[in-house]
Chains A and B, each alone.
Chain A
Amino acid sequence: MELVYSQQKERREVAELPDRELAVRAREGDMVCFETLVTRKTPAVVSLARRIVGSAEDARDVAQMVFLRVWNEIHRYDSRYSLNTWLYRIATNLSIDFLRSSRSRERAHGATLHLVRAREEATAGDATRTAEDAELSQLFEAVSCRLSEKQKAAFVLREMQDCETREIAEILGCGESTVRNHLFNARRILRKEMERLYPEFLRGRNRP
Chain B
Amino acid sequence: MSTPSAANPVCAIIRASFEPYRRDALPSPQRRMLREHLLACEGCRSAAAAEDPTLRFARPLHEPVSEGETREILAAVMTGVDLLKTERRIRMGSGRRARGLRVGSAAAAAAAAVAAAVLVSSGWGILQSPMPGRAIAGASAAAPAPAAASAASVSAAPASAPAMQPAAMAEAEPAPSPDATVYDWNPGAGREEPRVVWIVDRGLDI
Contact = CB atoms under 8 A, between A and B. Distances in A.
Interface string A180-208: 10011011001100100000011011110
A207 B65 CA distance: 37
A191 B54 contact: yes
Contacts of A72: 84
Contacts of A180: 24
A176 to B, nearest CB: 9
A23 B156 CA distance: 71
Given A64-B80, A128-B64, A129-B64, A42 B28 contact: no
Contacts of A71: 77, 80-81, 84
A91 interface: no
Majority secondary structure, A binding face? helix
Contacts of A128: 64, 66
B102 interface: no
A68 B88 CA distance: 14
B24 A160 contact: no
A50 B63 contact: yes
Consensus secondary structure, chain B interface: helix
A168 to B, nearest CB: 10
Interface residues of A, number: 50
A159 B61 CA distance: 9
Kindly state the interface size class of chain B when it binds its partner: 20 to 34
A133 B61 contact: yes
A205 B52 CA distance: 8
A46 interface: yes
A170 to B, nearest CB: 16
Contacts of B52: 187, 191
Listed from nearest, the 3 A-B pairs whose CB atoms lie closest are: A47-B63, A67-B77, A160-B61
Interface of A: 34-35, 38-39, 42-44, 46-47, 50-51, 56, 59-60, 63-64, 67-68, 71-72, 125, 128-129, 133, 136-137, 139-140, 155, 158-162, 164-165, 180, 183-184, 186-187, 190-191, 194, 201-202, 204-207
Given A34-B81, A44-B62, 8 more contacts: A42-B70, A43-B65, A56-B63, A164-B28, A190-B53, A191-B52, A194-B53, A205-B53
